[in-house]
A and B are shown apart, each in its own frame.
Chain A
Amino acid sequence: MAEPEASSAAANGGGRLRNAFGGVLSAFTLLLIGVLAFSIRLFSVIKYESVIHEFDPYFNFRVTQFLSKNGIYEFWNWFDDRTWYPLGRVIGGTVYPGLTLTAGTIWWLLNSLNIPLSVETVCVFTAPIFSAYASWATYLLTKEAKGTGAGLMAAAILAMVPSYISRSVAGSYDNEAVAIFALIFTFYLYVKTLNTGSLFYATLNALSYFYMVCSWGGYTFIINLIPMHVLLCIVTGRYSSRLYIAYAPLVILGTLLAALVPVVGFNAVMTSEHFASFLVFIILHVVALVYYIKGLLTPRLFKVAMTLVISVGLAVCFAVVAVLVALVASSPTKGWSGRSLSLLDPTYASKYIPIIASVSEHQPPTWPSYFMDINVLAFLIPAGIISCFLPLSDASSFMVLYLVTAVYFSGVMVRLMLVLAPAACILSGIALSEVFGVLTRSLKFQLSKLFDDSSSAVPASGDSSSESSTNSTKSENRNEKSETAPKEKPSKKNRKKEKEMAESVPVKPNKKEKRLLVLPFELSVMGILLLIVLGGFYVVHCVWAAAEAYSAPSIVLTSRSRDGLHVFDDFREAYAWLSHNTDVDDKVASWWDYGYQTTAMANRTVIVDNNTWNNTHIATVGTAMSSPEKAAWEIFNSLDVKYVLVVFGGLVGYPSDDINKFLWMVRIGGGVFPHIKEPDYLRDGQYRVDAQATPTMLNCLMYKLCYYRFVETDGKGFDRVRGYEIGKKHFKLTHFEEVFTTHHWMVRIYKLKPQKNRVRGKLKKLKSGAKSSSTLAAGRKNPWQ
């Protein structure tokens, strides 16, 4: 009896060890996934340098610097007079503080541990760190829905999905970097609460939602998606107390917390984006009440009560809905913000708000961009949806709903591809893990059968002839497979089991399996190989995207030529010049794209910046740029502008320069000041700056500042972006003087010439003449006088 006792103990121990081993293995895998997520985003640092990227990150960086220098209370009260001159901007109340506070906290923590990292370094690496967190959150979320395997798969896929990389490479210090983590983590906590019905997780969920509200305006996605899911659960008859616990605390606590964030404030209860959640909240309570009453009453009584309640309830509902509709209708935008409206109606922006339409990331995406950003995941998603329905649980229905809404939103705005990415990763992870599960399982059975066949071939002489014939046909394949098969084994665990089985399973000629779906051996091996190849393609694509497509910081450009790498560092050259060689209080005018960079790198006051909150102000700058020199000088002078900065790519062929953006300046300027008319700048509907261009175009300030003395570079004035010679080659500037042009001419800075002394009488005469001649238009021409 001692012997079986011992063996049973061993078996027990083996099981526990196997569990522990699995736990350690998956923990280790997760760690590696985190490392992968972090390190794949370091291409930008290795290929370029540790520097903040693009435009918005510079603003965030500047705010973080302010925070780390002045502390949190100063930060809330910060009125920034370096921007939107002369209006200024209340930073503390208009910024989503999540990212800034996160990086500021990390910096503070490190410094109090005497690890002297600069604020810049912390900012640069915030995004990669949070992508590691995001992939772990994905693991948790997927695990709640479909188990550990799917979780690991989804986490690995998310760690390197190009769409997310594009927003979170090292240096891309933008809200999305932390917001995606917050989004996934909030979803995880919601699903976790839904699965466990624990109030603890519900509270955590509200806190996580608060973090998301702090971080990104995209929090409205959460507060609409979760109610949708709750509604779905109720409609499909899946109401439970767990659902109630998952939702009700989130709405109450979440809304209270959200209202604490200054930039949201009372919007949390007053704008239409949040109404859905309250509506569902009411419905949920009604349903809860119904379920409660159902438990109290007998079925017959319940029916009676039901009709009563429904009739009364409908009446109340109508009343409430009517009030809501009236409230919403009374506000001009129907209570929706412009960006949200353009989400619901994709054509809204281009019709009414050119400033939103002018941003490239607010355009609808093209098909190639789907392939670029989520690659093979696009093909795996349908499989993922199917496996979510087998069987459908609360969690998996949430995944499907998330995916469907995210696909819609990504179709409206390129930028929201980012929201789609986690959904795509989760569903692809589920799909892949299910497929691998099926394939390896059938492989296991088939393989054990094969082993068994060969082992029993010697003793069982009496095998049926049909068996042996099939055996012989298989034998060639078998040799290959016995070599390749062990490699495909996902873990040692399986191999061990399979060995046990190979020893123990008796001869079984029957091919029929009752419960398990078993595929033929060749098919499963092929399937696994194909999946590995597919995954390989995905990895290769992701690495390429991370290394080549998404790592450029955009303030430093490089080009590879025969002589080697050529660096175009003109932007920083110009900003450094501004910061060292102009007066601290000088005002610099440029198109709004460069506002954040100018304030952050050059530390000079700008007129407009990327926050674009005041359309009129931007239109004023647009008008000045599209006006002739004298009018422009007057506008700029009235704004106290001392320097005008333009970006010009014609010499080196940098396409996103001001001339190419110029039509937007005309449009936005014309939207507010009607004397700027777009057709004046177009020849037969075509935008051009060559000899065919309209005189208005050739005389506007932007043209002149860009092409001043350009002809002297090659004698012809050949513009390498537009690909033709410019229209007006030789001209002088009367009201501006060139003070700095960078090495590759990419940034040109001009100074407003001081006003000339004039005889008093002459001045008066001029003024009155101007007034009488340009009547109405002059009145609106310059809003600041």
Chain B
Amino acid sequence: MATPPPPLRRATMLLVAILVGVIASTASADLVITRADRRVSAVDLTSHIVRVLASLKVRCSALFLCFHFVQVENVGPDPVSQVLISFPNIQAKNLAAIRAFGTEGKVKGQSTVLPIEVVQPSGAPPELTFFSALLPKPLEKGKILHLDVLTVFTHSLQPFPEEITQAEAQLVVYQDSAHYLSPYPVKSQSLTIRLPGGRVESYTRHPSAKLVDSELKYGASEDLPPFSYLPVIVHFENNNPFAVAKEVIREIEISHWGNVQITEHYTITHGGAKLKGEFSRIDYQSRPYVRGVSSFRNLIARLPPRAHSIYYRDEIGNISTSHLWSDSKKTQLEIEPRFPLFGGWQTTFTVGYGLQLQDFVFYSDGKRFLNITFGSPMEEILIEKLIVRVVLPEGSKDIEVSAPFPTKQWQEVKYSHLDIVGRPVVVLEKPDVIPEHNLYFQVYYKFNNISLLQEPLMLITGFFLLFVACIVYMRTDMSISKSSPSYLAKLQWDEVQATVQKIQGLFEQCLAVHDKLEASLRDLSRTGDIQSCKAARKAADAQFKELSKELKPLLTYLQSSPQSYQIWPKVEELITKEREMQEKLMTRHSTVVDSFEKKLRGQDIENRIALQQQKIAALRQEVESLLEYISEI
């Protein structure tokens, strides 16, 4: 529908689903269809999918849906195990789904789903495609089988005219046969087409045709021979959104850390009548339902409950027009493309969301399996090509797929976050996917939980090695030439630094001794114990001597080293200052002790040492700032 076919191929647009009940393998005449009611639902032509239910039912839209309700009676002698259903080829190629439910006997009982396969009976006309519904048990003579067949056709509503302006409503044409096309004689049959309401431009006049409200009925016709065909055409207004996805790529990525991430890429077109001439925003905005009635501006997606981290964007960024409702049963996402879609316009976007792992991945018989719906969560959308890619975690084995309908399958490898061997990808491809295909499918695989730790461990190892490399680099001597001047200079510089540090340590010890002396003086002033004070003095003297002895070799080394030219003057200064300070301290100490011995008053002592004290404090500060300076080099 996205590219409307030329007008004359209207016959191909016709979507019909027919169910024929045929008894027996050979004698097709043995089966008689006692009643065939087809309901072509154009209400479900809400979309463009035609659904036909033939008790026979048919539902249709650019998808149509037909329901066929068929009653089949075996009039022949032999039991019959299959029923043939036939369509003209032009319809059959638009057939997206067919499903049959059978009930035996007059009374409505338990209906069973019948398996369906394509057959080509000998002698059948080549213009027809036959499907055979296999009965669970053969139909005995005289027994009646109720058969409900649901067929869904795509591309069966053709816009006519093919180009309309913004203000016009969209008209579509639907073709079908008023008679039930069947290889069996039909005793009684009818065709009901439910239209979406609105204008009906025309329909094939027929004696039995009746248009009541929005329901068009042909029949009931009686006693039709096999393969009777009476074409009918309905031309009516249908403004339902003809959303056709040219291609949908659905990627389901399983992470055993607890998430199933789904990413869906859509390429959507409006498959209805093409827009002709201007698009005027003022008309669209002031009267959106009149001017722009054939366009659609939003799509609804029903996501599973507890979907999270939902995003909606396209290749140029986030699309801000979307709404989200969620409750415990479902998550409903209403998305608006960037612009309203008129006939022939198209757009692309991506929808992504995360699901809880435990809701979709299960474990049985030593195998895990993913159980998730196949189709897209969008409502009423026809997907011309659906590619489902199931990305299993790295290290999955023994992959099997079970899908409820035939698909093209193959496997790929995808490299994602820090993969080494890549993740196995199961790809399923199916053309013409409709909401009826939204069935669960399963992917079975084996996966060991240990593999989960592979990537974190890899990262840990990587960083560990990096740090080890750093440490090794810092600790090893990488210089190429061990005799080059710069290398030697560096070695010397290191030694100088070590020496300077040692010297610093010594000086700090000196200062500590000074402090001890001070403390002894304070004790003296408190207790008046001259003896202990003298002892302290003696100890200090000894320590000073020891320290200066230690200092000497270091200083000589420093002096001789060529690298220390920057530091040496400072160190020298430090030494002289410290000497001076030491002397002053000693003299003060002796003065104080002396005065205590002479029992002078505290005030006098203060006066005597005041000057010295000042000097000492100043010196001490200088020494300390020098030490700090040196330590900063």
Contact = CB atoms under 8 A, between A and B. Distances in A.
Contacts of B138: none
B512 A581 contact: no
B409 interface: no
A575 B319 contact: no
Interface in A206-233: none
A84 to B, nearest CB: 22
A462 B603 contact: yes
Contact of A510 (B286, B518, B618): B618
B391 to A, nearest CB: 12
A15 B504 contact: yes
Contacts of A739: 278-279
A244 B625 CA distance: 36
B563 interface: no
B505 A114 contact: no
Interface residue tally of chain A, by bracket? 35 or more
A514 B317 CA distance: 67
Contact of A576 (B277, B281, B285, B347): B347
Nearest to B281: A741
Contacts of B278: 737-739
Contact of B347 (A508, A580, A738): A580
B588 to A, nearest CB: 10
21 contacts: A4-B543, A4-B546, A8-B502, A8-B508, A11-B505, A16-B501, A459-B522, A459-B526, A461-B602, A462-B603, A504-B514, A507-B613, A508-B614, A510-B614, A555-B317, A569-B319, A572-B316, A576-B314, A576-B316, A580-B348, A740-B281
Interface residues of B, number: 60
A461 B617 CA distance: 19
B328 interface: no
B316 A601 contact: yes
Interface string B185-227: 0000000000000000000000000000000000000000000
Interface of B: 277-282, 285-286, 314, 316-321, 338-339, 344-348, 415-420, 501-502, 504-506, 508-509, 511-512, 514-515, 518, 522, 525-526, 543, 546-547, 602-603, 606, 613-614, 616-618, 620-622, 624-625, 631
Interface in A91-127: 113-116
Contacts of A496: none
A8 B617 contact: no
A8 B505 contact: yes
A51 B317 CA distance: 6
Given A7-B512, A738-B279, A739-B279, A573 B505 contact: no
Residue among B339, B419, B614 with most chain A CB within 10 A: B339
A289 interface: no
Nearest to A1: B546
A66 B341 CA distance: 30
A513 B621 contact: yes
A114 B419 contact: yes
A173 to B, nearest CB: 14
Contacts of A504: 511-512, 514-515, 518
Contacts of B616: 506
A285 B525 CA distance: 72
A741 B292 CA distance: 14
Nearest to A566: B320
Interface in A282-330: none
B282 A576 contact: no
A782 B282 CA distance: 34
Contacts of B506: 8
A525 to B, nearest CB: 21
A11 B509 contact: yes
Contacts of B318: 49, 51
Contact of A7 (B509, B603, B614, B618): B509
A775 interface: no
Contacts of A11: 504-505, 508-509
A745 interface: yes
Nearest to A115: B417
A462 B606 contact: yes
A493 to B, nearest CB: 11
Given A15-B631, A577-B339, A712 B347 contact: no
Contact of A114 (B338, B418, B509, B543): B418
Contacts of B621: 513-514, 516
Contacts of A555: 317
Nearest to A741: B281
B518 A506 contact: yes
B415 A116 contact: yes
A504 B519 CA distance: 9
Interface in A1-38: 1, 4, 7-9, 11-12, 15-16
Contacts of B512: 7, 504
B505 A510 contact: no
Given A7-B512, A114-B419, A514 B618 contact: yes
A567 B317 CA distance: 14
Contacts of B348: 580
Contacts of A577: 338-339, 345
B282 A709 contact: yes
Interface string A698-727: 000000000001001100000000000000
Which 4 residue pairs across A and B have the least CB separation, nearest first?
A741-B281, A508-B617, A51-B317, A49-B318
A4 B509 contact: yes
Contacts of B511: 504
A601 B620 CA distance: 73
B624 A115 contact: no
A449 B616 CA distance: 15
Max chain A Cβ within 10 angstroms of own Cβ: one of B314, B316, B625: B316
B338 A572 contact: yes
Contacts of B321: 569
Contacts of B501: 12, 15-16
Given A504-B511, A506-B518, A515-B622, A745 B281 contact: yes
B417 A116 contact: yes
A741 B602 CA distance: 100
Given A460-B525, A513-B621, 11 more contacts: A11-B509, A12-B502, A12-B505, A15-B505, A115-B417, A503-B515, A504-B518, A510-B614, A515-B625, A567-B320, A740-B339
B529 to A, nearest CB: 14
B613 A569 contact: no
Contacts of A4: 509, 543, 546-547
Contacts of A763: none
B91 to A, nearest CB: 32
Nearest to A461: B602
Interface in A22-76: 49, 51
Contact of B602 (A1, A16, A462): A462
B346 A580 contact: yes
A420 to B, nearest CB: 32
Contacts of A515: 622, 625
Q: Which of B277, B279, B418, B522 has the most CB of A within 10 A?
A: B279
Contact of A459 (B525, B546, B617): B525
A678 to B, nearest CB: 32
A316 to B, nearest CB: 38
A446 interface: no
Interface string A546-588: 0000000001100000000001010011011100110000000
B394 to A, nearest CB: 10
Contacts of B339: 573, 576-577, 740, 742-743
A507 B521 CA distance: 12
A731 to B, nearest CB: 14
Contacts of A569: 319-321, 338
A526 interface: no
A709 B320 contact: no
Contacts of A438: none
Contacts of B514: 504
A116 B316 contact: no
A530 interface: no
A253 interface: no
A348 B545 CA distance: 79
